[in-house]
Structure 1
Amino acid sequence: MSALTKVFTDEIRKIEETHWAEMVSKPYRLTHHLMPPCGWLNDPNGLSWYQGRYHVFFQYSPFEVKGGLKFWGHYSSEDLINWTYEGVSLYPDSPADCHGVYSGSALAEEETLHLFYTGNVKLDGDYDYINNGRCANTLHVESKDGIEFGIKENVIPCTQYPEDYTCHIRDPKVWKEGDRYRMVLGGRRKDDHGAVLLYSSRDLKQWNLDGELTTEEKFGYMWECPDMFELSGNEILSVSPQGVEREEYRYQNIYLSGYFILRDGKVFKEDFREWDMGFDFYAPQTFVDKKGRRILIGWMGMPDAEEEYVNNTLEEGWQHCLTVPRELKYCNGKVYQYPVEELMNLRRWKKKLCDADRETETDGAFDLELQVQKGPAKVVLADIFKLEYRDGILVLEMDQQAGAGRRTRKACIEELRSIRILADTSAAEIYVNEGEVVFSVRFYGKGTKHRLKIEAEGFRGGIWKLEKMSITRCL
């Protein structure tokens, strides 16, 4: 451990120790969403199944609740509901990442867990840090136990990127395909055209540039957090575009996250479909677990949007969380996403709901499932939000105080068949039609008890109280 790493480690342990005891006592602290012990959390990173455990790393600024110098925090679990906080795994402690350990991915092999990430370096001087003044290196580290990581290797220095790209190249996602390794990197070309760079390697050390993927017509100036995978025989590219003009029924956030289903190895603008229609979702990443499931986790936050989204957790000394793990399935030309089945183990008592039971009271975190007959429908969580479907339009409308800047989001669907709501103390994930459409949102209501009202011509379902996930700290 270098002297700088030891300084970071000691200071982070001190501040985490102060906040850890408060994690269960603060009113907005969450019960079934991963969050930072203190400070700021953003992108999920290094998602993997390795040596009998799930590993979830995340970008972490422990010293700054509004974001700052980035590290990688680390959670692990055997079952996705009982978690251990493993502490900080990667530090900005080398010349190639001295201004931040930025996003990246994991490649789990039998004896080794490989992490690839972007090392951020900003030069001192009069720079715009887009076309000059920034170095974004692609770094590689290895671990034999998933906890301790070895020497950092700069496998793609910033000087080796294509000349027609800006300094904004980042977020490597690595996987194995046949007898070679592949990587995608998100990028911003000098003509302000978002794209993904494709690389390949035989040994994880030497990487060759194979080309790029982008739309013929410009679709945003930057594509962040790329992910490429196969699902039911379909090749899928997931990206988070920046700079796409907003519309009423789509592209409603300042930045987007969505996917293309490739056609003949190409992407087309008209094929882009958003992962999540809510206010708080960005930078998702996927991985395959021991059961062969493709699982997605996203950041329940939004960068560069402080004027639109007030986060009342700032006073508690922390900000942001991750979504619950979602299993992906391909159906009818779309990718559906739904909470992993393990979360049902948090369910406790159940109250059945039907046409005769249109109102009930919730207390704390809950899991609601409804099957709805065709026609208009409305679900109201008093003082928090209203979800209403009518004439092919689904509208999520937030209470003014609970929304804290969040107001309305819309989605177009042909019909409404089902609704599932996973509600936490200050976060909700709404799954429509078994995950055909999803809304993720943070909220800040008064107290934990709320009246739930359902309006529909016919419905049946149930509501469960949710136990807290177990989160322990590795000392």
Structure 2
Amino acid sequence: MNLSESLRKQTQEAEKKQYMIEQDPNRLALHLMPPVGWINDPNGLCQFHGVYHVFYQYSPLDPNGSMKAWGHYASRDQIQWTQLPAALYPDQKFDQDGVYSGSTFIENDTMYMFYTGNVKQPGAHDDELAYSGREANTVLVTSKDGIHFSEKQVVMTNADYPQEYTCHIRDPKVWKKEGRYYMIQGGRKMQYPGGGAKENSQQTDYGTVLIFESDDLVHWNFLKDITTEKRFGYMWECPDYFEVSGHPVLSTSPQGLTHEEYCYQNVYQSGYFLLDDEIIGADDKHNRIVPDPEKFHEWDYGFDFYAPQTFCDEKGRRILIGWAGIGDADYDNAPTVAVGWQHALTLPREITWSDGRLLQNPLPELKELRGTELAIGEECYAADTVFEIVADEIDADCLVQISTGEEAFCARYEAGIFDFSLTDGAGRGRRSRKIRIRDLRRIRLIVDNSMVEIYINDGEYVMTSRFYFPDDQRKIKVKGARETKMWYLKGLEIVK
């Protein structure tokens, strides 16, 4: 039995325990979650021949994350999903320590799937394997149907990246413009070129994105890198480039930003720069795009969000899915880890442009899951644990609280500050996240057993968080809204 067959067999054995997770009161009905084990970054998002494909970082053998494969869901309507066998495993020397994040580019009836093959070399190295001891191989796999995959082909290794970079280069995303292919990757650049371990590297390295170009999707050349004029974190992960209504957008997940009271509150951030110019210009090598940190907006201000990826579907919609979780946080998901799973993906969100910024809202398909509309007063009890609330025509101050017994989460708006807070038992270390909002008009909460997504002012701001309540009736309290509507929601249909 070869390594790939062995890993598939181990995964199949682990997935036989799904029945335990299906009985967990904290399981999610609306969000894609791991069959067993751990899920993190969404990967390879696309629509191919009418079918939506969601690949994701998957560790079926360990709810705390270990062996990283690509799990796989597929759907024609975003409501009924098929749980497919894991697509890619770390079964080669060039990806032996993880099939890390990547993307899918579609052309000529073929899916071109690029990812980072992670290799950790033995020997004495720095703790992060930033300056030595790590291979970050860019790998290509193709598919004609989204189910069967070609042999893997390494298209770039560390030797193909600029020398002034650390070993931390990863997460390729590919697009095409005017007959040429371009790839963006996240990078960690040394302030002073050279190798070897370096003290306080997180204080001196700086994050960038690297741009590569190709004529054939196989042979790639470094074109340029892009970063801010002043250092903005030490590493930029999971980069993405796209346009919305003709406006160029650079999305990335910077690590090492200074935490502030109303922004950058998580251990790592995810957001986007609104660029003044396209990332690829007529004179590519000298077209120095310099993102403005003042034009960096966080995608999500909640506790549980990281590493988003976007794609354009066959309707022309720009859709974002993020990891509804985050690494290295000082809070936990012990209740789900205890039964063998951790984390999920966010709801798919449509990205649109309005008045100089991007809006995010759940795809309209989600409304198909709504039951009868209910008008509710200031207080009521929910008969189910999966529901949607919309509070409209909000007065100067507002409060929306969901509770069970002594545990609660609360969204409170007062004096221009929106504060999302949780009690100790509900938050498991999650306490409060705050943002400044000049004018609060509308709040939409989608509550899914143990997760909430809050959409503020039709998607101007979003907050995503896990929470943990006893499996009892939910009490809903809403103050400050002239009209509050509620719907119970059916769950996604997962076909195995």
CA deviations on 1:414-435 (whole Å, 9 max, x unpaired) are 1111010010011110000001
CA deviations on 1:5-40 (whole Å, 9 max, x unpaired) are 1111111111101x2223421111110100001111
Separation in 2 of the partners of 1:256 and 1:309? 18
Separation in 1 of the partners of 2:429 and 2:393? 30
Equivalent in the alignment of 2:471: 447
Separation in 1 of the partners of 2:18 and 2:101? 25
Separation in 1 of the partners of 2:488 and 2:394? 25
Residues 21 and 340 of structure 2 are in contact (CA less than 8 Å); yes or no, is this contact kept in structure 1?
Answer: no
Which one-letter code corresponds to 1:144 in the other structure? K
Separation in 2 of the partners of 1:173 and 1:349? 41
Equivalent in the alignment of 2:218: 205
Separation in 2 of the partners of 1:338 and 1:142? 32
Separation in 2 of the partners of 1:101 and 1:55? 17
Q: In the TM superposition, what is the alpha-carbon distance from 1:269 to its structure 2 partner? A: 1.5
* 225-234 vs 373-382, which moves further: 373-382
Residues 333 and 342 of structure 2 are in contact (CA less than 8 Å); yes or no, is this contact kept in structure 1?
Answer: no
3-state SS, counterpart of residue 13 of structure 1: helix
Matched, 1:380 2:401: yes
The one of 423, 448, 452 aligned to 2:447: 423
The one of 37, 48, 51 aligned to 2:49: 51
Equivalent in the alignment of 1:405: 429
Separation in 2 of the partners of 1:145 and 1:72? 16
Q: In the TM superposition, what is the alpha-carbon distance from 1:399 to its structure 2 partner? A: 1.7
Question: Which structure 2 residues correspond to residues 241-320 of structure 1 after superposition, within 5 A?
Answer: 241-264=254-277, 265-305=289-329, 307-320=330-343
Separation in 2 of the partners of 1:371 and 1:176? 42
Residues 105 and 174 of structure 1 are in contact (CA less than 8 Å); yes or no, is this contact kept in structure 2?
Answer: yes
Separation in 1 of the partners of 2:473 and 2:325? 25
3-state SS, counterpart of residue 316 of structure 1: coil
3-state SS, counterpart of residue 338 of structure 2: helix
CA deviations on 1:45-92 (whole Å, 9 max, x unpaired) are 000000110000000111111111100000000011100011110010
Gaps spanning 5+ residues in structure 2: where?
Answer: 192-204, 278-288
Q: In the TM superposition, what is the alpha-carbon distance from 1:310 to its structure 2 partner? A: 4.1
Residues 384 and 402 of structure 1 are in contact (CA less than 8 Å); yes or no, is this contact kept in structure 2?
Answer: yes
Separation in 2 of the partners of 1:434 and 1:48? 25
Separation in 1 of the partners of 2:345 and 2:94? 27
Residues 425 and 448 of structure 1 are in contact (CA less than 8 Å); yes or no, is this contact kept in structure 2?
Answer: no
Separation in 1 of the partners of 2:107 and 2:423? 47
Equivalent in the alignment of 1:116: 114
Separation in 1 of the partners of 2:333 and 2:56? 22
The one of 58, 61, 66 aligned to 1:60: 58
TM-score norm. by structure 1 comes to: 0.96
3-state SS, counterpart of residue 373 of structure 2: strand
Separation in 2 of the partners of 1:232 and 1:369? 28
Residues 296 and 328 of structure 1 are in contact (CA less than 8 Å); yes or no, is this contact kept in structure 2?
Answer: yes
Equivalent in the alignment of 2:438: 414
Q: In the TM superposition, what is the alpha-carbon distance from 1:370 to its structure 2 partner? A: 1.8
Q: In the TM superposition, what is the alpha-carbon distance from 1:232 to its structure 2 partner? A: 1.0
The one of 367, 371, 394 aligned to 1:348: 371
Which one-letter code corresponds to 1:369 in the other structure? V
Q: In the TM superposition, what is the alpha-carbon distance from 1:110 to its structure 2 partner? A: 4.1
Equivalent in the alignment of 1:434: 458
Residues 374 and 415 of structure 1 are in contact (CA less than 8 Å); yes or no, is this contact kept in structure 2?
Answer: no
CA deviations on 1:211-237 (whole Å, 9 max, x unpaired) are 011001001000000000001111100
Equivalent in the alignment of 2:15: 16
Equivalent in the alignment of 2:101: 103
The one of 228, 232, 241 aligned to 1:219: 232
Corresponding pairs, count: 466
* 374-383 vs 326-335, which moves further: 374-383
Q: In the TM superposition, what is the alpha-carbon distance from 1:374 to its structure 2 partner? A: 3.7
Q: In the TM superposition, what is the alpha-carbon distance from 1:175 to its structure 2 partner? A: 1.4
Residues 101 and 117 of structure 1 are in contact (CA less than 8 Å); yes or no, is this contact kept in structure 2?
Answer: yes
Separation in 2 of the partners of 1:65 and 1:310? 10
Equivalent in the alignment of 2:358: 335
Separation in 2 of the partners of 1:288 and 1:448? 40
Equivalent in the alignment of 1:6: 5
Residues 135 and 167 of structure 2 are in contact (CA less than 8 Å); yes or no, is this contact kept in structure 1?
Answer: yes
Equivalent in the alignment of 1:138: 138
Identity of aligned residues (%): 47
Q: What RMSD in Å do the two structures reach over aligned CA positions?
A: 1.1
3-state SS, counterpart of residue 471 of structure 2: coil
Separation in 2 of the partners of 1:108 and 1:279? 33
3-state SS, counterpart of residue 316 of structure 2: coil
Separation in 2 of the partners of 1:14 and 1:75? 19
Q: In the TM superposition, what is the alpha-carbon distance from 1:348 to its structure 2 partner? A: 1.1
Residues 114 and 140 of structure 2 are in contact (CA less than 8 Å); yes or no, is this contact kept in structure 1?
Answer: yes
3-state SS, counterpart of residue 151 of structure 2: coil
Equivalent in the alignment of 2:198: none
Residues 402 and 444 of structure 1 are in contact (CA less than 8 Å); yes or no, is this contact kept in structure 2?
Answer: yes
Residues 21 and 341 of structure 2 are in contact (CA less than 8 Å); yes or no, is this contact kept in structure 1?
Answer: no
Separation in 2 of the partners of 1:351 and 1:122? 55
Which one-letter code corresponds to 1:132 in the other structure? S
Residues 361 and 449 of structure 1 are in contact (CA less than 8 Å); yes or no, is this contact kept in structure 2?
Answer: yes
Q: In the TM superposition, what is the alpha-carbon distance from 1:350 to its structure 2 partner? A: 2.0
3-state SS, counterpart of residue 215 of structure 1: coil
Separation in 1 of the partners of 2:137 and 2:380? 54
The one of 36, 39, 42 aligned to 2:40: 42
The one of 465, 483, 496 aligned to 1:460: 483
Separation in 2 of the partners of 1:168 and 1:373? 46
TM-score norm. by structure 2 comes to: 0.92
Matched, 1:229 2:242: yes
Q: In the TM superposition, what is the alpha-carbon distance from 1:448 to its structure 2 partner? A: 4.3
Q: In the TM superposition, what is the alpha-carbon distance from 1:290 to its structure 2 partner? A: 1.2
Equivalent in the alignment of 1:359: 379
Residues 295 and 328 of structure 1 are in contact (CA less than 8 Å); yes or no, is this contact kept in structure 2?
Answer: yes
3-state SS, counterpart of residue 48 of structure 1: strand
Which one-letter code corresponds to 2:321 in the other structure? I
Q: In the TM superposition, what is the alpha-carbon distance from 1:408 to its structure 2 partner? A: 0.1
Matched, 1:471 2:494: yes
CA deviations on 1:239-262 (whole Å, 9 max, x unpaired) are 000011101000000000000011
Separation in 1 of the partners of 2:132 and 2:322? 30
Task: Provide closer, same or farther for how the CA distance between residues 317 and 162 of structure 1 changes in structure 2, counting only shifts above 3 A.
Answer: same
Separation in 1 of the partners of 2:364 and 2:423? 30
3-state SS, counterpart of residue 11 of structure 1: helix
Separation in 2 of the partners of 1:143 and 1:239? 27
Residues 386 and 447 of structure 2 are in contact (CA less than 8 Å); yes or no, is this contact kept in structure 1?
Answer: yes
